[in-house]
Structure 1
Amino acid sequence: MAKRELFVREKMACAGSIKQYNKLLLTRILINEPVIIWVTSGKKTLRQASKEIEVNAGEFILIAAEQTFDVLNEPDSHSGVYSADWISFSKEVIELFSTEYGLEKSIVDSYYLLKDVHHFDKAFNYTLDIIRDHKISQDILKIRLYELLMWLKCCKVSFNPYHALTLSQEISKIILSDVTMKWNAPMIANRLNVSEATLRRNLSKEDNSFQKLLVDVRMTRALTLLQVTEWAISQIAYAVGYDSPSRFTARFKQRFGFVPSDVRTPILTSPEIG
């Protein structure tokens, strides 16, 4: 079996394979880039405001950039495993494709459930293999990514290449560009050419704060690494800006309500999700 990891192709795409053994509620999960998720075992439930959507094994869901959901991944009752593969697209790829081929009437502004599309799974798997193989050129990868987007276009749906960012989303992108950085509010204010007081005041208008954003971005990245890699928890802690694995574990539990090892290791009784 191939070693599990997060595959990144700069300015093109990212991909990963999730395997989870416990029914865990993941709150306020920020999706930074347009993504296609293929649930292969179990069930995924997405909650956003008053909306809820279920994605069953064999189904695909398209999620637009800059969306925040509560996510419930539920293992299959027989195998005891939840698994899914995902591919995210860079903003550059979506913009270039839209410029060349145009947009469909149905635009993914939040999410779109895709199912019963003949052979789409084969095209998805082929693209996934290309992303994983860094020996294959960016030009070939671009063609494969375009092919997936063309499949969506044939289904009369497109990702939206144009969307204005809120201040919170803009700051999240800056932090995500280097999660190991010891970010603070003055550094972000300097990046955005505003005073720290203005930054904090405008974040407050969005019912947010710099510290909350910093924790959310770091913990969401940590969650991704726990799901799609075999890295040690200490390595993940360092990768998201924590010098102390114990402090990282405490912060992770405070953020999600369970410890990092629960993402990977089956526990005897899953907590009730209410």
Structure 2
Amino acid sequence: MTAHSRPDHTMLARLRRKLAEAAGGDGAGLPAHLGFVTCVSRHRIRNVVLPQPTAVFVLSGEKILHDEDASHTARVGQMLCIPALWRVTVENVPSGNSGRYLALCLSYTPEMLARAALACPQPPCPRRPDPEDIIQHAEPILLQSVEHLLDLCLACPGDTGPSCLALETTLRLLGRRTESRDLLLANRSSSKERLSLQIMAEPDRAWTAQESARRMGLSERGLRRALEAEGTSLRELLRDIRLNLALGLLQQGLLSVGEVALRTGYESPSRFSSRFRERFGVSPRDILHFRGELGEDLAGTGQCVV
């Protein structure tokens, strides 16, 4: 199917309803690898960097990604396959019918990616990842696998094992049935990506060059050189990971600005807010203001809400 195929509004309505049920209205019922973004006003967020490869299913409205070279628009019934550490400007656009935007976000762990890469081998003549492959049509079998994932979240609350297996199934389907394999399953062995995953696991830790190098099995000088060769530094990675995790927490709407600041390594909420606005072009309170309530009639009339 092409990226322009007509969406299945009946299936999308079921996914919106089940997402709201699984999340418990506020997102607290979802396991860590599932997330959602919902809003009621159009807004733009600069310099967004996702620490892990992520598939975003647009259930209502539109999501637009702007990078240095082009813009990529995913409409209802489409999905975005976003590689890790890709810096973009994100624009969320509510539906003209429902007045809401809603997207389901699936992030994948390094272990899932490694197993999927083995299960979905490269073609004989592999090609370089193409930015045009970011937007994909969510064909029926993919949407069915996502619905199964939400069903397991509902059936096994508090037990992430079944949902993790279902999540990995969605990744394998993406690798086999879309053109996005190389975007999601690229080799994740760079120092930048390995260190990013460690920081993401403990964003509130007082990370030092000595501790970071020790965990990577390198000297401080070796780590610094490795990161410089990849165009970054420990300080830049800390800022990127912490602020983007903070953005995700605020979009869930479960914590106050002060709580988000502490969880992402900022002792001062005012300093956190300043750094956040400088990075994304909006304040933490703006993110809370943009957000719609997940439990508010998302099934509606079958219109999309991503």
**TM > 0.5 fold call:** yes
Superposed, 1:23-62 pairs within 5 Å as 23-62=42-81
Q: Structure 1 residue 128 and structure 2 residue 150: aligned?
A: yes
Change (3 A) 1:251 1:137: closer
Aligned position for 2:166 = 144
Offset of 1:15 from its aligned partner? 0.4
Aligned position for 1:227 = 251
Kindly indicate which of the two structures has a greater share of residues assigned to helix: 2
Aligned position for 1:262 = 286
**Distance in 2 of aligned mates of 1:201 and 1:98:** 29
Offset of 1:223 from its aligned partner? 0.3
Q: Which has the higher contact order (CA 8 A, sep 6+)?
A: 2
**Distance in 1 of aligned mates of 2:169 and 2:249:** 28
Q: Structure 1 residue 90 and structure 2 residue 109: aligned?
A: yes
Deviations 1:180-221 (A, max 9, x none): 101122322333344434444443444433222211110000
Question: Which has the larger displacement, 42-51 or 193-202?
Answer: 193-202
**Distance in 2 of aligned mates of 1:88 and 1:225:** 14
Check whether the contact 1:107–1:157 (CA below 8 A) recurs between aligned residues.
no
Deviations 1:127-163 (A, max 9, x none): 134246444462x335423542454356254635451
Check whether the contact 1:6–1:229 (CA below 8 A) recurs between aligned residues.
no
* DSSP-derived class of the 1:265 partner: helix
Deviations 1:103-123 (A, max 9, x none): 567889465322162353233
Deviations 1:82-113 (A, max 9, x none): 22111122222232244346456788946532
Change (3 A) 1:209 1:128: same
Offset of 1:71 from its aligned partner? 1.8
Check whether the contact 1:6–1:228 (CA below 8 A) recurs between aligned residues.
no
Match of 1:248 among 240, 256, 272: 272
TM-score between both structures, scaled by the size of structure 1: 0.80
Aligned residues: 262
Aligned position for 1:196 = 220
Change (3 A) 1:21 1:165: farther
**Distance in 2 of aligned mates of 1:156 and 1:81:** 28
Check whether the contact 2:175–2:181 (CA below 8 A) recurs between aligned residues.
no
Offset of 1:266 from its aligned partner? 4.4
**Distance in 2 of aligned mates of 1:35 and 1:107:** 21
Check whether the contact 2:79–2:138 (CA below 8 A) recurs between aligned residues.
no
**Distance in 1 of aligned mates of 2:277 and 2:110:** 32
Change (3 A) 1:135 1:177: closer
Q: Which runs of 5+ in 2 are unaligned?
A: 1-19, 292-306
RMSD: 3.1
